[in-house]
Amino acid sequence: MKHHKPLGHKAYGSIPHLPGSRQGREDKGLSAGQAKFCLTELPDRHYRVIIQEKMDGACVSVARHDGRLITLGRAGYEASTSPYPFIQMFDVYVKKWKKRFTFLQEGERLVGEWLALAHGTLYEDLKDPFVAFDLMTEHRRATFGEFLYRLPAAIQIPVTLPTRCPMGLEDAIIHTRSFWRVYKADRMEGLVYRVEKNDEVLFLGKYVRPLKKDGCYLADISGGEDIWNWGGKK
The pLDDT tens digits along the chain (234 residues) read 678 899 999 999 999 999 999 998 889 999 999 999 999 999 999 999 999 999 999 999 999 999 999 999 999 999 999 999 999 999 999 999 999 999 999 999 999 999 999 999 999 878 899 999 999 999 999 999 999 999 999 999 999 999 999 999 999 999 998 876 666 677 889 999 999 999 999 999 999 999 988 899 999 998 889 999 987 654
**Ramachandran angles phi, psi of 190, nearest 5°:** 165, -155
**Sheet bearing 200-208, strands edge to edge:** 47-54, 190-197, 200-208
* pTM assigned to the model: 0.94
Closest to 185 (Cα-Cα) out of 211, 205, 159: 159
In sequence order, the 6+-apart residues with CB closer than 8 A to the CB of 27 are: 14, 16, 17
**Ramachandran angles phi, psi of 130, nearest 5°:** -110, 125
Give me Rg for the CA atoms of the chain.
17
Q: Mention the CATH class of domain 32-222.
A: alpha beta
